Amino acid sequence: MLFLPTWSIIHSRVWKMQIPYFARHCRVVTFDGRGNGKSDRPSAPDAYKEEEFAADALAVMDATGTERAVLVSLSRGAERSLLIGASHPERVAGMVFIAPALPLPPAAPRSGAEQAFVTPHESYDGWQKWNKHYWLDQYEDFVQFFFSQVFTEPHSTKQREDAVGWALETDPETLIATQLAPRLPDEESVRELASRVRWPVLVIHGLDDAVRPHDSGAALAEMVGGAFVTLEGSGHCPQARDPVKVNLLLRDFACPPTPSRRWSRGKSRGKRALYISSPIGLGHAQRDVAIADELRKLHPGLEIDWLAQHPVTAVLEARGEHIHPASAHLANESQHIESESAEHDLHCFQAWRRMDEILLTNFMTFHDLARDEQYDLWIGDEAWEIDYYLHENPEEKRAAYVWLTDFVGWLPMPDGGDHEAFLTADYNGEMIEHIARYRRLRDRALFVGNPDDIVAEAFGPDLPLIRDWTEEHYDFPGYVTGFDPADFADRGRLRAELGYSEDEQICIVSVGGSGVGADLLRRVIAAFPYAKQRVPALRMIVVAGPRIDPASLPTHEGLEIRAYVHELYRHLAACDLAVVQGGLTTGMELTASRRPFLYFPLRHHFEQNLHVRHRLERYRAGRCMDYEAETPETIAAAIADEIGREVDYRRVEGDGAARAAAMIAELL
């Protein structure tokens, strides 16, 4: 498949929602068109003739050894696709046109502005901004306006931001040159090229396209005798805004899946569940395995496959769980989160937004698996991509579906300003609309906790209170620790099993399963000599976790550094103090085991600073620390103050996994 460049206002990243998926199913070629990205920006209009773009595409095919390809074009790419077919039909295996921009009736909304493109105006409103002089004077405003017309769908903030960013990688002079370049003049010139089409054609067009009329796409499909698909509610770039549907249409057209060679009659099938566990940290894995164990008690013989990635797979492998081979195709979410972090700083909401192509890639992996294999039940523990794209494409639901989460509501950080508050409210609003329209999609929605654990804030202006809405739409099994705190009532025996003597004061330092906590580990390690002076019996054990190399951390005499520790919660239950990041799972494990702890929420991490802190304060658990304000000396003082302290925490239930499993088991 050759994904062609479109207008030079954007580059090949416009295909980011297609490339990873199709690269698993066929050979994919794409490139930055002249005028943007990594390609040159010639100044002469003749350099942007459509024949030049077509020649570039053929040169790329030659350079990559691509004899034939399905050509996929977007908007202005339609003309160069037809030119390639007309001059080199032997290189074309098929054509897909998405929102083709060709001189076919009816006229485009900007047709009047195009005729006066070089004429200055006293004012520029709407499509009058399609003007050489306005571009030179107010380029960024034009770009903002243009992409508001490209993405007319509600809640398209990320797609618009992406496109504006790509447009700012070129300049108005380049775009003016592209606009002055000669193009096909009229319908007859299109018809002449279309008459040479001798291969399968698919045309996809959004009914709400505000840049190129939907009926012009229908006219092209009729002209070439191709299939035509209308996307109701979609705008000019559905491959970005409705990528699942577009990907499935492209897949069926260009490289259809092979039919399964095996089928089982319904009554002969054993019960099967597919469990999708969030890879951000290890906490989800611990509770998910506990729920899975309880499900098997209620449904003996239940087969559970796991769609998961590192570091979750480390827990699953240690437990002997079956990780589905399709997991190898998942794009790495933990690596992305780590790449977004700075020194003990992770802007969680923005990092999640910038993970959109990873989430789409992973949904497509899930989709192919769920299409090819029969499951009675899907369980998604904060599997955001599954939940979002199922609500965007509800027809893709094929099994009972359970959604689990331990927080509800994106919340802005105080220094995010009005823009972040707008964005979080917009994301929350879309989620609320999804649930209101398709309440049937989630057969069970479980909040891992209790109603009082929910923050008191609203989802945003003119949106409901988070707690009120969550109580209406979720069930509450209580918190799921993955263990029964009563099992550790005899701490002396537990310490002996783990090799901790009674005359030692054990301090466990852990930052979970991601690599984001390395800076906190280093600062606590620096505090060790000072803490040892204050607490002579101190034995500090630093757990690097599966994504931090222990050899990368500094050390001191008497300090122990370990890599991944299986069943770390047992060590936490045995310790005299823990120093941890601000994640919920470790904090609640320590709360359930009634151990004192210091916790350092990541800066800008809304979940740790708002949702988790609210819950821990409700349990009267832990001492919240500010990484920016604390030095090794003050951390050492806090360790000395807290180690071995008797606590008065609110009790954490020990049967959360069983209660969650009972709610899920009804669906089987």
Angle 351-352-356 from CA coordinates, rounded to 5°: 110
Say what the pLDDT of residue 516 is. 87
The pLDDT of residue 42 is: 97
Q: Residue 391, Cβ neighbours under 10 Å: how many? A: 18
Q: Rounded to an integer, what distance in angstroms lies between the CA atom of residue 591 and that of residue 587?
A: 6
Instruction: Give the separation between CA 149 and CA 371, rounded to whole angstroms.
Output: 35
Determine if residue 478 is left, alpha or beta; phi over 0 gives left, psi from -120 to 50 gives alpha, anything else beta. left
**353 phi, psi to nearest 5 deg:** -60, -40
Hey, which bits of 372-411 come out as E strands? 377-381, 400-405
The predicted model gives 189-205 an average pLDDT of 97
Average pLDDT estimate for 288-311: 96
- pLDDT confidence of residue 624: 98
Could you tell me the sign of the dihedral formed by the alpha carbons of 290, 572, 634, 517, in that order? Answer: negative
Q: Is residue 116 helix, strand or coil? A: coil
CA 471 to chain centroid, in Å, comes to 26
- Provide, for the chain, the percentages of residues in helix, strand and coil under a 3-state DSSP scheme, each rounded to the nearest 5: 45, 15, 40
Question: Environment class of residue 210 by beta-carbon count within 10 Å: exposed (0-12), middle (13-18) or buried (19+)?
Answer: middle
From residue 420, alpha-carbon distances to 1, 120, 390, 601, 604 in Å are 38, 37, 26, 20, 12
30 DSSP assignment:
E
Paired residues of 323 in beta bridges: 306
Q: Over the stretch 117-155, which tens digit does the pLDDT of each residue have? A: 999 999 999 999 999 999 999 999 999 999 999 999 999
Percent of the chain at pLDDT exceeding 70: 100
Q: How confident is the model at residue 492 (pLDDT cuts 50, 70, 90)?
A: very high
Instruction: Find the angle CA(412)-CA(413)-CA(415) to the nearest 5 degrees.
Output: 120
Residues, the chain, total?
668
Band of residue 565 on the pLDDT scale cut at 50, 70, 90: confident
User: Would you place residue 278 in the very low, low, confident or very high pLDDT band (cuts 50, 70, 90)?
Assistant: confident
Check residue 262 and give its pLDDT.
86
Return the CATH fold of 487-642.
Answer: Rossmann fold (3.40.50)
pTM of the model: 0.96
Instruction: Give residue-wise pLDDT tens across range 608-646.
Output: 999 999 999 999 999 999 999 999 999 999 999 999 999
Which positions ≥6 away from 252 have C-beta within 8 Å?
Answer: none
Nearest one of 352, 371, 244, 358 to 309, comparing CA atoms? 358
Q: Please work out, in degrees rounded to the nearest 5, the angle formed at the alpha carbon of residue 206 by the alpha carbons of 201 and 207.
A: 120
Burial class for 529, CB neighbours closer than 10 Å (0-12, 13-18, 19+): middle
Decide if pLDDT at 179 tops 80: yes
Sheet with 400-405: strands ordered across? 322-323, 303-307, 272-277, 377-381, 400-405, 444-448, 475-478
Q: Which CATH number fits domain 269-481+659-665: 3.30.930.10, 3.40.50.2000, 3.40.50.300, 3.50.50.60?
A: 3.40.50.2000
Give the pLDDT of residue 409: 98
Flag whether pLDDT at 514 surpasses 80. Answer: no
Mean per-residue pLDDT of the chain: 96
Q: Where residue 577 falls among pLDDT bands split at 50, 70, 90? A: very high
In 3D space, the residue among 130, 62, 116, 128 whose CA is nearest the CA of residue 90 turns out to be: 62
Helix ranges (DSSP H) in 438-567: 466-473, 491-498, 518-534
Instruction: Give per-residue pLDDT as tens, 322-338.
Output: 999 999 999 998 888 88
CA atoms 360, 365, 368, 371: torsion sign: negative
Q: What angle do CA 170, 174, 175 make, to 5 degrees?
A: 90
> Taking 90 as the threshold, does the pLDDT of residue 515 lie above it?
no
Measured over the CA atoms of residue 612, residue 617, residue 620 and residue 626, the dihedral's sign is positive
- Amino acid sitting at position 526: A
Report the range of poorest mean pLDDT among 203-207, 267-271, 420-424, 465-469: 267-271
Taking residue 40's Cβ as centre, other Cβ atoms within 10 Å add up to 11
Please, are residues 97 and 204 in contact by the beta-carbon 8 Å criterion? yes
Does residue 77 contact residue 4 with C-beta atoms inside 8 Å?
Answer: yes
The conformation of residue 15, written as its DSSP 8-state character, comes to G
Provide the token pair at 609: 């600073």
**d(C-alpha 146, C-alpha 39), whole Å:** 23
Give the burial string for 89-126 (b: 16+ CB within 10 Å, else e). Answer: eebbebbbbbbbbbbbeeebbbeebeeebeeeeeebee
Q: In what order do the strands lie in the sheet with 227-231?
A: 29-30, 2-3, 69-74, 92-98, 201-206, 227-231
Q: What is the pLDDT of residues 76-102, one digit of tens each?
A: 999 999 999 999 999 999 999 999 999
Class of domain 2-109+183-254: alpha beta
Largest CA distance in the chain: 92
Task: Report residue 314's pLDDT band, with 50, 70 and 90 as the boundaries.
Answer: confident
Q: In whole angstroms, what is the distance from residue 206 CA to residue 229 CA?
A: 9
Distance CA 256, CA 192 (A): 31
Residue 418 contacts residue 395 (beta carbons within 8 Å): no
Average pLDDT over residues 426-440: 98
Residues 6+ apart with CB under 8 A from 309: 279, 327, 330, 332, 333, 334
**Alpha carbon distance 259, 292 (integer Å):** 31
Task: Return the pLDDT at 335.
Answer: 87
- Predicted local distance difference test score (pLDDT) of residue 279: 82
**Alpha carbon distance 384, 58 (integer Å):** 40
Q: Judge whether 269-481+659-665 and 487-642 match in fold.
A: yes
Q: Are 168 and 57 in contact (CB under 8 A)?
A: no
Q: Parse the chain into domains and list their residue ranges.
A: 2-109+183-254, 269-481+659-665, 487-642
Helices in 438-517 by DSSP H: which ranges?
Answer: 466-473, 491-498
Give, in degrees to the nearest 5, the angle at Cα 388 between 385 and 389. 80
pLDDT at 373: 95
At 482, the pLDDT band (50, 70, 90 cuts) reads: confident
pLDDT at 280 over 80: no
